Every structure is written in structure tokens, then in C-alpha cells.
Chains A and B, each alone.
Chain A
Amino acid sequence: MDAGLSFRSVPGIAAFESSARAIVGPEHVHLASDISGSANTTNNSGGTDFSLCPWIRASDENTIPPKLQVEPANEQELARILKLADQSSLAVIPCGGGTKLAWGNPLQRADIILSTARLGAIVDYAWSDLTVTVEAGCTIKQLRDTLSQLGQRLALDPLWPSRATVGGVLSTNDSGVLRLRFGSLRDLIIGVTLALPDGTLGKSGGKVVKNVAGYDLPKLVTGALGTLGVITRATFRIHPMPKQSRTISCLARDVREAQRLVLVIQDSKLAHSALQIRLVQSMQPQIDVLFEATEAGLSAQIEQLKTILAPAAVTDPGPAVWDARQELYSAAEDKTSNSALAKISVLPTQIAEAYAALVTIAANRVHFQAVVEATGIGFVYFEATPAEIASVLQSLRAKLEAMGGSLMIAHRPSAMPALDAWGNPGDALPLMRAVKKQFDPKNTLNPGRFVGGI
């Protein structure tokens, strides 16, 4: 293990540092120990919170702190830094707002944090063509603010929008509840530019919504956790902002009834934008439906929905219910020593079965809370001792995988016994490894953080 290595003892890093300074300017190369100190773990003021990353905390003997953070000014500089690190056999952690640095498995090596903080430009906003091209370091909030001025939006609701960047959201495939209607990131991204470890800047896709020329690399890098290349810019399809939106909620007797209602709504001709079930241990499940339409369209649909949900009484709780997923993630971060957060995926018809399994497995040992979308994607917050959490996650994953689903651990207590973050990637793992080898043969990018040790 490289654990406990001091900065100067990493071969090649001193030479890298001086070359990197020459490329990006000395003020844009920092010691990682300076940035992971408490002064910068400012969750609310926009800084990068490294304290949550088990692999980055210098104090823990079993973790590997990165040594340098480099902030290139543009994609050419970024590609040069990446190439330099690759040639120096230094491991690179691409980083945007740093909100999801804890996702994935512990790194095998960590040397350089390659930050996109200075690549924040909105390059081309072709509002009348409904497309926008942005640099990877642009935050979701900045993009939202720009698009909303012309009554448009990127139809996504990712976590931590004020800090999360386009590149980070893409790499972690963090879409949100609107995917039910607008599709997920893979359906909204239409073009990408990637920096590869050999210094290549390659693009794929384009600036038009409809385009089948060449391979669809925008999809390949969405959710690849920065293990194939560093996304430097992306082009998205955007949508008009809805004229009106309204949320309707109701209580269901139990989870089976909640699942039944969700399936009936899905099988109806309603044109809702989001649909979720909120589940708090030993309380009645709450169903939320989001409508986005013109005033005329809204009232007719709400009447139809009431008929479907009858005899349950409906309420209009306002848009705050759509923060449920964010609240679970934030809770997991607040109680970092004894909480975990898992993203699960099952078929819509398996929601009740998955929940029943969760209740049985968690028994009375573990406190949990969940929100499950009509797509079958859910988020479960756990609170217990690290050992108990590990045991529950393991059993639940086994059950979900047997059902054809999956469980990804996004947040875990630092003291939790080792448990793979991703689960079984299936029989395509050798092919995934072959793809990784083609893009990153020296295993420079996020080594070991992705599925199957990639």
C-alpha cells in the first residue's frame, strides 16, 4: 500500500509539480493538504468538502491522501496536465464541485486532483435551437440561472445544484425525478468533448439534437465516474420551462397499495412529470405527483388523478416534497459516522417486494427512510452502527440483484467494513475492462473507484 507516503517520496511528483506550474501558472497548483484542511470544508459557502471522502482524509492510516490540486484554465491546459500526470504515472482524480467525491470504491492510488473549477463558461446557448454547450466546471445553478432568463431549462434536478457541476453530474449519472418524463442525462446530452490520459482531446456527438454520425460517446462517459477521460465540455438538449406546475399528494394504506396506485397512474393517460413514493419507517407511504402544463391542461388532469386516487384525500403540499432525495443525502452527510445512503433500482412492479425485503432485513436494528420514483429508482437512508449497516446493505443487495435490480452505495460510514460500492456488473465486465484499457491503459483516472476494480 502507498498509505502514509509523504508528499516528496512519491516518485515523479516534484517534476510534475514544476511542469504543472509552468502550464497553469503557480497560483493554480495547490498542495492538497492545504485544501482538505478544515478551513475549506465549507459545505455551505461553495468550497470543496473533502472531509467526507474516506480516501482523502490524511489522518486515517488506511487512506491515501492526494498530493496536489491543479486547476487548468481551459480544456487544452487540462489535457496537457492529464497527459503529464499519465506520463509521470501519477493517479488523477477529476473533480468538479466535489459534492460526490465519496461515491465509488476507495482509490488504489491518489496523487492529483484535477479540478474543473476554472472551466465554467457557458460556451454557446442556442436558445432557439433548444441546445446549450457548457464547460464541465459550470455549476447546475449557473446553467439554470442562464436558461431560466429565456424561460428554458435543462430538464434535470441533480443533487446539490449550487455546487454540483455539469461534468460531475454527468460522470455520476445524477438525473433526478424529472427523468420519468424527460429521460435521464443519457437522453439529454447530445455532444461531449473528452480529454484522454494520452492528451487527446476528442469530441463525439454534436450540437444538433438529431445526429447519428459516429459512436455515441456522450452516453459512454455518462456515469463512467471519470474513469475513461475527463469531460471538458458537453452539449445538452434543453426544454421550455413549464407554464404552470402543481404537486398533488396523498397517503396510501401501505406500500402494496402505493405501488398499485403508481402503476395505475403510469398506465393512465395523464402527462405527469414526476411520481414518487416517500417511505418513512412505520408510517403510511406518501405518493407525490408533479404536473407541469398550461392552466387549462392542469385542472383537467388533476380531476382525473383525484378519480384514480379516490377514496384517498389529496393535498397540495407544494414543490418542497421533491427535495426528498436531497434531504436523504444531506442527512447522510450530517451523520457521517453512523449513516449510509444507497441508490437502488428495480422494476416498477417490484417496488413493494423490494421494500418488504428492506423491512425484513433491517428489522429493528436499523433505522431507514426511503424515496422511490415510479421508474423503480429509489434512495434509501440508513442509520445504525457501521457493522449493522454493512450487513443490511449486503443482504439487501443480494436480494435486489436476485430480482434483476441493483444497489449502489453512495455514502457510507467511514468505519464501515469493506463493501463494494457498485455490486455485480454482470457478464459485460470483461468488455468494460477492455474499454477502460483502450481509453486509459495506465489506469491513471480514478484507479479502482469504479465497478469490478476499474
Chain B
Amino acid sequence: MDARIVQELRAIVGPRGLITSAEELHTYECDALTNFRVMPLGVLLPESTEQVQSILRVCHRERIPFVARGSGTGLSGGALPVENGVVISLTRMNRILEIDLPNARVVAEPGVVNLDITGRVLGQEYFYAPDPSSQSVCSIGGNVAENSGGAHCLKYGFTTTHVLGLEVVLPDGTLVHLGAKALDAPGYDLAGVFVGSEGTLGIATKVILRIVKRPECVHTLLAAFPSTNEAGAAVSDIIAAGMLPAAIEMMDRLSIQAAEAAVHANYPDCGALLLVELDGPVAEVQYLMTQVNEICRNNSASEIRVAQSEVERALVWKGRKAAFAAMGRISPNYIVQDGVIPRTALPQVMSEIDRLSKEAGVRVANVFHAGDGNLHPLVLYDRRIDGQEAAAEALSYKILEICIAAGGSITGEHGVGEDKKLAMSKMFSEPDLATMQRVRCAFDPLQLSNPTKVFPTPRLCGEKPGKYVAHPLEAAGTAERF
């Protein structure tokens, strides 16, 4: 970076706010998806909205691309630096600015850690609902960028459901307010489109969040099944009975074994585990839990435990929450996938994954958010064995193709980032992607904000899109070109 620019940036953030030494920059060369690494030119650590604005004005003037970063826990390479770009780390903007309990709103800076929101309102029996597994370290700004989910979004919704408004610095340094504390502000729902845009539309500097009153009770049932088929059938029956549990999680044999080895959750030894959590008024939850219990038994559940106290619940969840990290116990390396399928396609998709896994000689452990069809297949491999990594990557990509073919999505909560941008062309046609990119052109015509992410090919704003590609409908002969 030009010495003059370095000096200008240092004047904005102070000497402690700019990192340019190679050894310190290594910390920022990747996020939690460590197989992609790029060294940034520098890392900026602003402490205020004004500093973010000043930084982006410089970047805009000098055409320097930038990548915003929270805690760096993302699993899709969304916070991966870009060539000849800077990283803007928001970790120092970590204040909770306002807690408004009567209106159930919290205003937070982007660097606030997800779980700290709940920590501040728990005493008054409120909580912040989105609960990604990394919630004890991941930041609200990162959650906004990725539209993070978690086990309880089946009932409570995703980050976007809980973001009512945003203060955003646009890529040219302009400050805008999207949404508001009051609902249905006039105009386009730009907060709605900003959440989940993976840092490509600007940098959020304040977030207005909705918090939720804690339910009267929470009961968690753990049921052991012979295989994922019976467990899947139980999930279908629960949904068909008209229930909306707070969470339904499933683990297969391999992931149960890994979790046992890692955290001794005392899970039963079985082909599949189902974890069903119901919350709400006591009388309602007790009544429905009896039904869930019956449904599980009717689907060959061999062992059923119901946790009612916080201690018992924590134990039941312990193995599930540790499932990813536990893979280290049974495999030196693994790839986490994040595909989504319509839940009813589960048996068919599972047997397909099983077949491919055997064919490739690569083991796959399965952990899912079973209620909403979000699969987290963990493709296990050993980097030291020649060809295994490539085989695992190929299998992992094939799993995404299966999800798309089943009518699902390539990502349920981890985001597209760098990792899955090529798969976007499998899920969406060129006109679909071009339509989305119009939003990008409105927010960031110079494409400086986290460029090269999300979309397989950037669209040059103001220019005609490239070569014509047939819409899948057109290719299939069900639609004509006009």
C-alpha cells in the first residue's frame, strides 16, 4: 500500500488501529474456513461509525477493495481477504448501546458477541433468539452479514427476523439508516436485503435487534432410533400432528460416536438420535410432549429421555453442540457442508449420500437441523493420504448437487462466501443472478465491498451482461426466449 495512504488511514484510526506487519496480518488471512488464505494489505480496527466512514471514503477514492470482519468464525470464507484489499475488523465496536425491554429492542454495535446480548437481558427473562453454534464468540455484525440461523430458528426464525433496523456505511462512505425501531418504515425493505448479503453491500455499524421473552418452560426429549429412516419418519409425524417444536435435531451413528468420544454426553448407542425441544406454557408443552413421546415409540424408538431442568437440558445439548469439533476424535480432517433439502426428501437424500460415500471410500457423518431440512454432512478425510482431500472435496460438492436436485439450497446458514460461489450457478440461472446483482450495483457500483464473493461472476454495473445463457425453464423447453 502506498505510504501516503497508510499514513492517511493511520491518522483515521490511530497507531493501534492499523496493522501492516506481516506476522500480525497472518491472523487475518482466513476465517474459520481455513483452506482459503489471502494476505490483506492491512487490517483496520475502527472504534466508531465516523472512523468507518472515513476509511471507506479513502478506499472509495483510491479504489481499494475492503472486507469487513467480525469474529472470523464464518465457515464459507466470507471474511477471507481479497487481493490488494484491506480488512476492516469491527471487534472494537463492541458496545451494547441501548436496552429497551418494554419494546423488546436492543441496539448493538457490530462487534458485540451474540451470546452477550442474551447475557444482558437474561435477568429480565428475555433472550436473543438466533443461536448459531458459535454464539459464544461470533459477532452480531457477522450474524447480520450471514443471516445466521441456529438450532432454534425452526420456531424463532433467523437473524433477519430479529433485525429491525441498521445503520450502514455504504461503500462510498455515505451513512444511511435502513429500517427503524418502529415497524414498517416507509420505503423499500433495504434492511431485509442487507441482512445476509455477506458483506457485499457495505458495513453495518449499528444494529437494532428484537429480543424475545423466555418461554414459561422448555422440555427436551432425546430418542434413540435404529436408523435415520425411523428418526426421519418420527419428524414427519411430529410436523403432521400440527406441532411446531423450538428445535428438532438429528445425529447419525458416526456423529453420535464422535460426540461420545469427545464430550461423553452419555448418549445411547444407536443408529440415529433425535432431539426434540418444545417450549411455551407448561400445560401446553406437557400435553404435546406426551404426543411426541408416543410418536417416537410408534416409530421404533428404543430409548426416550426427557430433560426438564436446565442441567439435564445442557447435558442433552452438549453432544449436539460439540458435534463438529468432535469430528477431530474420529478423523484428522473434515469438510462441513450446509445443504438444505425439503425435509421429506431426507430418506432418499440420505441413501444417496450413503451410496456416494461408499463409492468414494470417504466417510460422512451426518448432523442435521431435521425440522427445517438443513443438513450438515461432515465429510471425513485424512489430508496425509494421497488423493483423499480431492475425493472429499468432490464428494462434498456432489452432496450440494443432490440438495439442489431435491429442490433445496446450497446453504442454510453458513453463507456462500468464497466457498460455494460456483455452486450458485447450479442453483440459480444467469437471469436470477443478474437480477440479484442489480441490488449490488445500487449499493456498491464500484464493487469494492467484499468483491469476488457470493456471485460466480461479477456483473459490471452499468454495462450489459455478457453472453446469453438459457434459463433452465427455457433449456427444458417449457419457456421460450423473448
Contacts and interface: CB of A to CB of B under 8 A. Distances in A.
Nearest to A297: B284
Interface of chain A: mostly helix, strand, loop or mixed: mixed
Interface string B179-201: 01111111111101101110000
B185 A426 contact: yes
Contact of A422 (B186, B236, B243): B186
A349 interface: yes
A418 interface: no
Interface string A369-389: 000000111000000000000
B412 A438 contact: no
A331 interface: no
A404 B281 contact: no
Contact of A213 (B216, B236, B427, B471): B427
B133 to A, nearest CB: 15
Contact of A435 (B102, B420, B442): B442
A42 interface: no
B186 A406 contact: yes
A194 B287 CA distance: 44
Interface in A424-438: 424-432, 434-435, 437-438
Given A128-B240, A347-B103, A438-B442, A219 B284 contact: no
B281 A270 contact: yes
Contacts of B183: 184, 345, 375-377
Contacts of A128: 236, 239-240, 343-344
Interface string A340-377: 00010111111000000000000000000000000111
Contact of A212 (B180, B372, B412, B442): B412
Chain A, interface residues (CB within 8 Å), range: 35 or more
Contact of B147 (A173, A216, A404): A216
B141 interface: no
Contacts of B441: 438
A296 B342 contact: no
A22 to B, nearest CB: 12
A241 B193 CA distance: 30
A269 B438 contact: no
A59 B3 CA distance: 70
Interface string A38-64: 000000000000000000000000000
A246 to B, nearest CB: 13
Given A239-B244, A263-B102, A429-B187, A126 B196 contact: no
A411 interface: no
Contacts of A300: 281-284
Most A Cβ at <10 Å: residue of B103, B105, B411: B103
B161 A187 contact: yes
Interface of A: 76, 79-80, 83, 126, 128-131, 151, 173, 183-184, 186-187, 194, 196, 199-204, 206-217, 219-220, 222-224, 228, 239-241, 243, 263, 266-271, 293-294, 296-297, 299-301, 304, 343, 345-350, 375-377, 404-406, 408, 422-432, 434-435, 437-439, 450-452
Interface string B426-442: 01110111111011111
A207 B184 contact: no
A406 B165 CA distance: 14
Closest A-B pairs by Cβ, 5 of them: A202-B435, A219-B192, A297-B284, A240-B242, A425-B187
A212 B176 contact: no
A217 B190 contact: no
A258 to B, nearest CB: 15
Contacts of A228: 188
B267 interface: no
Given A151-B242, A202-B434, A432-B187, A349 B416 contact: no
Given A211-B412, A213-B427, A219-B160, A271 B284 contact: yes
Contacts of A430: 174
A196 B181 contact: no
A196 B437 CA distance: 13
B282 A214 contact: no
B167 to A, nearest CB: 10
A223 B191 CA distance: 13
Contact of B482 (A79, A350, A405, A432): A79
A222 B183 CA distance: 14
Contact of B342 (A131, A220, A425, A434): A131
A269 B442 contact: no
14 contacts: A173-B184, A183-B161, A210-B412, A243-B242, A269-B214, A271-B280, A293-B281, A343-B184, A375-B183, A408-B184, A430-B174, A434-B442, A438-B439, A438-B442
A424 B186 contact: yes
B192 A216 contact: yes
Given A199-B482, A406-B184, A267 B158 contact: no
A215 B182 contact: no
Interface string B240-253: 10111000000000
B146 interface: yes
Given A129-B342, A130-B239, A213-B410, A294 B189 contact: no
Given A204-B436, A208-B407, A431 B239 contact: no
A425 B186 contact: yes
B33 to A, nearest CB: 15
B178 A220 contact: no
B18 interface: no
Nearest to B102: A349
Given A200-B431, A204-B432, A435 B287 contact: no
Given A131-B342, A429-B187, A452-B187, 13 more contacts: A129-B343, A202-B436, A206-B427, A210-B374, A212-B146, A212-B149, A212-B409, A214-B428, A217-B439, A267-B213, A296-B286, A300-B283, A350-B182
Contacts of B160: 216, 219
Interface of B: 100-105, 125, 146-147, 149, 153, 157-158, 160-161, 170, 174-178, 180-190, 192-193, 195-197, 213-216, 236, 239-240, 242-244, 280-284, 286-288, 340-344, 369, 372-374, 407-416, 420, 424, 427-429, 431-436, 438-443, 454, 471, 473, 479-480, 482
A345 to B, nearest CB: 5
B340 A215 contact: no
Contacts of B244: 239-240
Contact of A217 (B158, B180, B435): B435
Most B Cβ at <10 Å: residue of A79, A301, A431: A431
Contacts of A217: 193, 435-436, 439
Contacts of B414: 212
A269 B189 contact: no
Contacts of A435: 188, 190, 438-439, 442
A206 B192 CA distance: 16
Contacts of A452: 187
A239 to B, nearest CB: 7
A269 B105 CA distance: 17
A291 B351 CA distance: 42
Contacts of B243: 240
A204 to B, nearest CB: 6
Given A215-B196, A347-B181, A269 B281 contact: yes
Most B Cβ at <10 Å: residue of A183, A204, A428, A437: A428
Contacts of B344: 126, 128-129
Given A80-B482, A194-B435, A207 B190 contact: no
A206 B403 CA distance: 12
B482 A76 contact: yes
A224 B188 contact: yes
Contacts of B374: 210
A135 B147 CA distance: 27
A379 to B, nearest CB: 12
A206 B374 CA distance: 13
B404 to A, nearest CB: 9
A427 B177 contact: yes
Contact of A210 (B158, B176, B424): B158
B129 to A, nearest CB: 12
Contacts of B103: 347-349, 376
A189 to B, nearest CB: 10
